[in-house]
Amino acid sequence: MNIAVLAGGLSTERDVSITSGSMVAKALRKKGHNVVLLDVFMGYEQDECDVSQLFEKGYDFTKDIAVGEQIPDLAKVKEARRDKSERFFGEHVEEICRYADICFLALHGGDGENGKVQAAFDLMGIKYTGSGCLASACAMNKAVTKSIFLNYGVNTPSGVNFTSDDKSKISDYNNFPCVVKPCSGGSSVGVSIVYKAEDFAAAMEDAFKYEKEVLVESYVKGREFSIGVIDGEALPIIEIIPKTGFYDYINKYQSGRTEEICPAVLDGSTTSKMQREAEKAYKALGLEGYGRIDFLLNEKGEMFALEANTLPGMTSSSLIPQEAAAVGISYEDLCEKIIECSLKKYNK
């Protein structure tokens, strides 16, 4: 197959996306596919674009990179663009993607995961991995996700949504401890756990730096888990144990900062119940192809679905590849399986 792997973009998770895309491209090449690895924002910045040659030669926009401890400087990324335009798709992106049999979306956060790219590709007739535009948009917004979970009987922490117009109401909030998170962010960027009222305003100010909508949830003390779901079926559960603090941007992507146990050490009943809840959440949101649901389990054995990720990370430290490996699915086979399951939505 001719496969275009799209990575990069303009979200705070740009570096994570590039790492995911690079690994996916290598894996698919090992399986014999013709693969172009493309930065969705930069595109292919050459006047001459022989698309068939790009696939035959395996065009790759980047060499191996690692996710740093700092969020990428997106202003510098924009400045580096050849045509200096504001449009999301870089040069020749549409042309290259139309030539491909399918696009593997290794995008994380921002317009790559909120349904906009998916909607554009639907209009262009371009096939892509993962969920469609509506499910992607709903899952990207944590407040909308929470409403859907509650409507479908998926247990989730209580929460209050704030917009930038509600800043005057921040002083009225009085439910601590709580978790403050940008409503549509990823990789825990801008997320804070607030234990005291005097720290709340600063946490909200930090979250509002990233977007105009912030979700404040009741804090649930407990063990943290994540469950990948492929084609509606849950993978083994993985437990996430940060060595310090919580599962933030640094702990997620810096080697040795977090212990991950897969399969998680849980009794059979709890394991089965959490997997069924993950499948229920996946179905409630209308996800397709694959996704990941994050959970907390408190001391009483109560489980809470936190959020869904429609384009989970595919880096060496990412969770879904570890879960797949626990049932004997190699990284290369996982990438092909994601493509196979994603193509089903075009055969309905």
Candidate list 13, 217, 224, 323, residue with the active-site label: 13
- Tell me which of 44, 210, 247, 253 is the catalytic residue: 253
Query: CB neighbours (10 Å) of residue 346?
Result: 9
Choosing from 15, 248, 288, 294, the catalytic residue is 294
Single-letter residue type at 6: L
Q: How far apart are CA 86 and CA 238, in angstroms?
A: 40
One-letter amino acid at 121 equals F
Sign of CA dihedral 270, 274, 276, 280: positive
Judged by DSSP in three states, 77 sits in helix
Active site residue 347: no
Q: Which of 9, 110, 130, 313 is catalytic?
A: 313
Which residue among 309, 317, 318, 342 is the active-site one? Answer: 309
Helix (H, G, I), strand (E, B) or coil at 68: coil
φ and ψ at residue 259, rounded to 5 degrees? -95, 130
**Is residue 307 annotated as part of the catalytic site, yes or no?**
yes
The separation between CA 30 and the C-alpha centre of its own chain, rounded to angstroms, equals 24
Task: Report the distance separating Cα 290 and Cα 314, nearest Å.
Answer: 12
Q: Could you say which of 20, 289, 292, 331 is catalytic?
A: 292
**Catalytic site residue from 136, 141, 187, 251:** 187
Whether residue 253 lies in the annotated active site: yes
Q: How many residues does the chain have?
A: 348
CA atoms within 13 A on the CB side of 157: 24
Active-site annotation holds for 313: yes
- Report DSSP state, residue 71: P
CA 111, CA 118: separation in Å to the nearest integer?
A: 9
Q: Which residues are catalytic?
A: 13, 187, 253, 292, 294, 307, 309, 313
